[in-house]
């Protein structure tokens, strides 16, 4: 069922945006895997068996992305994920990526939560003190699109979604994909603050609730 | 004056399967892209020396980044290409100044040897303009399996006063090449053509 046709990685170093040159550039990376959509061209009521099979795909992609970014793991500050489904598929096929894509990056970044509860959607992370890493929901977008479609993948802090200076998005696009019977699954991570962030709000060093939000 | 680099983007495109057929080993194409300020934007300058020097700087920087992204030794590179997109405040000749006089020598160092012409493309463009960077085998331009192109595009560049410069390097030809012509095994590598 899992048939990966192509893997596309992209890493960018942002030094400035017409303001002061950053002492350390913002590093943003994305990885996209182009898979055959086993459900293309028909309505398949039971698509869940694919979700489980995507777990190792996500983990492998998360590790590849981290390697391509070439930064220490503790520098990864934000994440996001997305999917682009080819024309013979439906949006729901892209939704298969929510659990395995999110889980993969959280696992990479040191999440200590209950995987079974996470998959079941019953996870409760209202805890005090930092109970682990990667507590935030992984923000996502998805769409049905033609080859070369662009997707703006949202990015937020891995431990507190409200860290305002790190709200961002990265445009991801695989030239020539997805074909009608393909899906592009995407993971994205960055080292954090927008290069000239200055609109206030919660700073990462002030995260205190460790509830994934603040 | 070194290039005022606003942004660097490196992409790797790995094809494992095409039309249901396994591609083994997978073909891999890397593109390293720099977004730089155009020192001559908005005016006519007869002399383009600053861009020529920037071309030399970027040949080394981007060539090295592309090879590193593939995780190969320089000698394992197969094909290469280069391209530039000039923002609206500049002219096509600015792209030519970066690409043609001095970019090639350091790029050839980055891929070891490189007897063949580095194929190129240029255009004027705006934010998100895509350019197809032509690819040819680095030691023999006539190797038919390696005629290819790879897209380069930066969503927020070039601004009017910027230039997007791309260098592409591969460790392979097209996936599943089967239209004959000169083969890699037949390269003489002397005249850059065969």
Pairing mode, if any, of strands B21-37 and B120-124?
unpaired
Chain A residues in contact with B17 (beta carbon < 8 A): 3-6
For an interface test with B, the pick among A14, A188, A190 (most B C-beta atoms closer than 10 Å) comes out as: A14
pLDDT score, position B37: 98
Are residues A175 and B13, on separate chains, in Cβ contact within 8 Å? Answer: yes
Task: Using a CB–CB cutoff of 8 Å, tell me whether B6 touches chain A.
Answer: yes
pLDDT score, position B159: 98
Q: What share of chain B has pLDDT > 70, as a percent?
A: 100
**Between residues A209 and A8, the one the model is more confident about:** A8
- A147 to chain B, closest Cα gap in Å: 13
Is the preceding omega at residue B25 within 30 degrees of 0, hence cis? Answer: yes
Query: What is the pLDDT of chain A when averaged over all its residues?
Result: 93
pLDDT higher than 70, residue A128? no
* pLDDT bracket for residue A124 (50, 70, 90): low
For an interface test with B, the pick among A2, A11, A155 (most B C-beta atoms closer than 10 Å) comes out as: A11
All residues at 6 or more sequence positions from B53 whose CB lies less than 8 Å from its CB, including other chains: B1, B102
In which element (H, E) is residue A69 found?
A: helix A55-69
pLDDT score, position A21: 97
Are residues A14 and B5, on separate chains, in Cβ contact within 8 Å? Answer: no
ipTM for the complex shown: 0.84
All residues at 6 or more sequence positions from B14 whose CB lies less than 8 Å from its CB, including other chains: A6, A7, A8, A9, B26, B27, B28
pLDDT higher than 80, residue A131? no
State pLDDT tens for residues A96-111.
999 999 999 999 998 7
Sign of the CA dihedral with B98 first, then B101, B102, and B105 last: positive
pLDDT score, position A123: 62
pLDDT score, position A69: 98
Mean pLDDT calculated for residue range A54-69 = 98
In which element (H, E) is residue B37 found?
A: strand B21-37
Per DSSP, chain A holds a count of helices (H) and strands (E) of 5, 7
Are residues A10 and B14, on separate chains, in Cβ contact within 8 Å? Answer: no
Write the CA distances from B105 to A70, A161, B35, B69, B113, integer angstroms.
Answer: 27, 47, 21, 20, 10
State pLDDT tens for residues B149-191.
999 999 999 999 999 999 999 999 999 999 988 899 999 888 8
CA A5 – CA B148 distance, rounded (Å): 18
Closest CA to B114 of B136, B133, B96: B136
Tell me the residues of chain B between 152 and 191 that have a Cβ less than 8 Å away from chain A. 153, 155
**CB pairs < 8 Å spanning A and B:** 60
Q: Do B118 and B101 touch, CB atoms closer than 8 A?
A: no
Q: Give every residue of chain B whose pLDDT is below 50, as ranges.
A: none
A179: buried, middle or exposed (CB in 10 Å: 19+, 13-18, 0-12)? middle
pLDDT higher than 80, residue A201? yes
If you measure CA to CA, which chain A residue comes closest to B128?
A171
Are residues A5 and B9, on separate chains, in Cβ contact within 8 Å? Answer: no
Mean pLDDT calculated for residue range A67-92 = 97
Closest CA to A56 of A108, A95, A11, A93: A108
**DSSP for residue A95:** H
pTM for this entry = 0.89
CA A78 – CA A73 distance, rounded (Å): 11
Q: Which two tokens stand for residue A81?
A: 């994920």
In which element (H, E) is residue B53 found?
A: helix B49-70
* pLDDT bracket for residue A126 (50, 70, 90): low
- B191 to chain A, closest Cα gap in Å: 33
If you measure CA to CA, which chain A residue comes closest to B7?
A14
Chain B residues in contact with A7 (beta carbon < 8 A): 12-14, 16
């Amino acid at each position: 069922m899992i048939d990966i046709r192509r893997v596309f990685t992209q890493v960018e170093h942002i030094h400035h945006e017409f303001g002061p040159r950053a002492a350390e550039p913002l590093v943003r990376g994305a990885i996209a895997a182009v898979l055959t959509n086993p459900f293309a061209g028909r309505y398949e009521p039971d698509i869940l068996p694919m979700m489980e099979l995507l777990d190792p795909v996500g983990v492998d992609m998360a590790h590849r992305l981290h390697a391509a970014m070439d930064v220490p793991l503790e520098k990864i500050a934000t994440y996001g994920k997305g999917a682009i489904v080819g024309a013979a598929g439906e949006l729901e096929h892209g939704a298969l990526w929510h659990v395995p894509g999110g889980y993969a990056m959280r696992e990479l970044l040191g999440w200590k939560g209950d995987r079974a509860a996470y998959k079941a959607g019953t996870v409760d992370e209202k805890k005090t003190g930092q109970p682990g890493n990667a507590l935030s929901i992984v923000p996502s977008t998805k769409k049905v699109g033609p080859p070369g479609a662009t997707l703006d993948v949202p990015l937020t802090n891995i431990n507190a979604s409200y860290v305002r200076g790190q709200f961002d998005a990265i445009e991801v696009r695989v030239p020539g994909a997805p074909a009608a019977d393909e899906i592009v699954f995407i993971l994205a991570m960055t080292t954090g603050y927008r290069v000239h962030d200055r609109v206030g709000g919660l700073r990462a060093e002030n995260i205190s609730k460790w509830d994934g939000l603040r | 004056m070194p290039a005022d680099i606003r942004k660097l983007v490196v992409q790797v495109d790995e094809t494992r399967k095409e039309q249901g057929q396994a591609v083994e080993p997978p073909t891999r194409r890397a593109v390293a892209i720099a977004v730089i300020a155009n020192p001559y934007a908005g005016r006519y300058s007869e002399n383009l020396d600053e861009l020529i020097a920037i071309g030399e700087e970027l040949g080394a920087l981007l060539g090295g980044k592309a090879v590193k992204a593939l995780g190969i030794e320089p000698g394992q590179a197969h094909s290469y290409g280069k391209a530039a997109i000039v923002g609206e405040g500049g002219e096509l000749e600015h792209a030519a100044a970066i690409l043609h006089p001095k970019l090639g020598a350091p790029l050839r160092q980055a891929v070891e040897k490189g007897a063949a012409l580095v194929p190129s493309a240029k255009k004027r463009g705006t934010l998100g303009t895509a350019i197809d960077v032509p690819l040819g085998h680095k030691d023999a331009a006539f190797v038919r399996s390696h005629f290819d192109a790879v897209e380069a595009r930066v969503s927020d560049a070039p601004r009017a006063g910027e230039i997007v410069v791309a260098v592409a390097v591969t460790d392979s030809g097209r996936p599943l090449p089967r239209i004959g012509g000169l083969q890699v095994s037949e390269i003489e590598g002397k005249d850059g053509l065969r």
